[in-house]
Structure 1
Amino acid sequence: MKANNIVTDSITMGDVARAAGVAPVTVSRYLNDPELVSERSKQKVSAAIKALNYVPSAAARTLASKRSRMIGSIMPSLDSSLFGRAIEVFQNHISTSGYNLILASHNYNPEKEREHILQMISHGVDALLLIGNARDESIYQLLNAKKIPYVLTWTIDSKQAHPCVGFDNHNAASSIANYLMDLGHTKFAMISGFVKNNDRAYDRLQGVRHALAQRGLSLDDDNVIERQFGVDAGRDAFRLLMSRQQKPTAIICGSEPFAYGAIFESKTMGIDIPNDVSITGFDDMWLASNITPRLTTVRTPQQQIGMLAAKYLIAKLNGENVLVPNPLDIEIVVRESCAPPR
């Protein structure tokens, strides 16, 4: 199909329909409810839109379908590949149903997150993907009043008050602590994100404390270092812990960049991992299997979270009665950064 000489701004839906050899209503459905259009007609309309350089009016589409075809996602941070895996899968899936992604980050600031949510609502997003469960209940009340579907990810809700797609952070952290205790460790420290306004960091810390308590051990407050997430913070916390007279033999990192920083700093300090101290991570990001020593860590279902969250929201937007999945599984990936204590 060859492009004609019609000025792009003047091209109408009718022009696209004639070029594609379909009815105008088919073009409208393609733009607003693509799941109602056959694959053959989709290909025809898509080719015509491309040939004519047709750009549909977002305002007109919203008016016609009563939807913006936009789904908002508000991340704690964009300065990491952690959420990138999940959000890429999420975006790919919603796009096949005709939705676009609007992305923002709040840098672990609850007021900033609230501001982003209000802005997205005012711009007419059809649904929202959020991270974690630590926010004011009034936000959920507003979303429910506006009938905007939402899903919380990377977490579970034991009270089942909100739809969640995630895993049990408490149990995941308990599992890595139990693995280290099985190796014989009794002297523990933890490098954690700030637990205030972060239910994932809080649950991971409590999971470690619970696992140790089950075996008659404890995690002293002095051995819990809370930092802003990042490699440099991991270096700083590791240096602090390993400069003390009473050194831990195992350091559990609540976020993987902390573990990378700890390993980098160990080389500067001349400390042998794992013979002097064992290090664990959390999430199994790409560097975990490429750093030296390779990192023992908790593998979280990042891509599965993105896919299931997208399926849940699309189903809700289609008016389907859909259940959220059960808590997803994690896996302890054993590599070379851990060994029995000397």
Structure 2
Amino acid sequence: MKRKIVGIRDVAQQAAVSIATVSRALNNPGSVRPEVRSRIDAAAEALGYIPDAAARALSSRRTRTIGAVIPTVDNAMFARGIEALQRHLSLQGYLLLLATSGYDPEVEYRQAQNMVSRGIDGLILRGDVHTEALRRLLATQRIPFINVGVYHPDRPYPSVGADNEMAAYRACRHLLDLGHRQIGMVAALSAHNDRASARVLGVRRALAEHGLELPARWLLEVPYHLDDARQAARALLALPEHPTALVCGNDVIAYGVLLEAERSGIRVPDDLSVMGFDDLEWSRHLRPSLTTMHLPTDEVWTRAGDYLMRTLGGQPAAMHHEVDASLVVRESTAPPRSPRRRAKAPGG
């Protein structure tokens, strides 16, 4: 059965507007009054009109496609951010093209190459650990990009995110203010992950201000998985002298620590305070609920989309934007017990 071809002229006639008005509504929805845009949308839907992306790309030299390369989809924060970004781009008539890198800069470069070959207009990258080849590619192809999840106003590359070092510093300060002096950390893998390494630096800085250190035996790096976090917590809690408080690289790692503490008979927060990072949905429902650093994920990703759309539209856009990471105090942190009353660590 031959498919009926519906063109822009048919939509204009159905909506009782000019062809130029339909074109503006499709290519730049914000330039058309909402009531007119609604009428055009209704006409297009009734007729089954679908814009020819290839023809639009040839005429405007734009595909209205934004690419994003993230480390993994197996992370609730990334999933939430991508959902917010896609929803925001869709309202402006943009398509999101997604790929993963597995925290490997070379894989990220190859994925970006694939996206460029498919005509993306702009690119969103996670963090600021990229190959020089990728930076050259984007520069020579004149493709605007932005780093999300970091705030680096001293660098020439656009960024939107929290100051991860300062956020971790504030998390550790909360534990110090409670009276903890034996503080350890279960961090995320720092290789090719500038957010994770910055958080370790923040904890070290807070401890140093109190004349304390982060001993090597109390710092473990793990992937963002529950099993790995539990194994790390098991190793730390089995030490003859274990920390009274742990800062975790993110909430998922903190969940693993909480589970292992329960299994080991260590009470949170009586025997061990646990600090998370991200403020995932489950964090406030746990018992004990998780003290954590809240990051406005939706805002970070939508601002990244705004930056690219404004840049592509020739509008001014701030290169760097910092979002606030706020401390959310819940049940998993409390002042340390006195040494005489503290339960003996397993294996101690």
Structure 1-normalised TM-score? 0.94
The answer to which of 106-115 and 26-35 deviates more is: 26-35
Give 1:131's aligned residue: 126
The answer to which of 73-82 and 36-45 deviates more is: 36-45
Give 2:28's aligned residue: 33
Q: Describe the SS at the equivalent of 1:192.
A: strand
Give 1:68's aligned residue: 63
Q: Describe the SS at the equivalent of 2:109.
A: helix
Q: 2:194 aligns with which of 183, 199, 213?
A: 199
Give 1:90's aligned residue: 85
- Distance apart, 1:158 and its partner CA: 4.4
Q: 2:252 aligns with which of 240, 254, 257?
A: 257
Q: Is contact 2:109-2:133 (8 Å) kept?
A: no
Are 2:185 and 1:185 equivalent residues in the alignment? no
Give 2:214's aligned residue: 219
Q: Describe the SS at the equivalent of 1:191.
A: strand
Q: Is contact 2:158-2:320 (8 Å) kept?
A: no
Q: 1:77 aligns with which of 67, 72, 76?
A: 72
Q: Describe the SS at the equivalent of 1:10.
A: coil
Cα distance between partner residues in 2 of 1:43 and 1:158? 40
Give 2:343's aligned residue: none
Q: Is contact 1:177-1:208 (8 Å) kept?
A: yes
Cα distance between partner residues in 2 of 1:8 and 1:25? 25
Residue type of the partner of 1:226?
A: E
Cα distance between partner residues in 1 of 2:250 and 2:98? 22
Cα distance between partner residues in 2 of 1:280 and 1:171? 15
Structure 1 residues 239, 55: closer, same or farther in 2, change over 3 A?
Answer: same
Share of identical aligned residues, percent?
39
Cα distance between partner residues in 1 of 2:327 and 2:30? 39
Residue type of the partner of 2:263?
A: T
Q: 2:39 aligns with which of 38, 44, 54?
A: 44
- Distance apart, 1:7 and its partner CA: 6.1
Give 1:153's aligned residue: 148
Aligned length: 337
Give 2:280's aligned residue: 285
Structure 1: which 5+ residue stretches go unaligned? Answer: 1-5
Q: Is contact 1:253-1:281 (8 Å) kept?
A: yes
Are 2:140 and 1:164 equivalent residues in the alignment? no
- Distance apart, 1:8 and its partner CA: 4.4
Cα distance between partner residues in 1 of 2:107 and 2:192? 12
Q: Describe the SS at the equivalent of 1:41.
A: helix
Q: Is contact 1:89-1:303 (8 Å) kept?
A: yes
Cα distance between partner residues in 2 of 1:96 and 1:26? 18
Structure 2-normalised TM-score? 0.92
Q: Deviations over 1:27-78 (max 9, x none)?
A: 2222222222232331222112111112222111111221111111111111
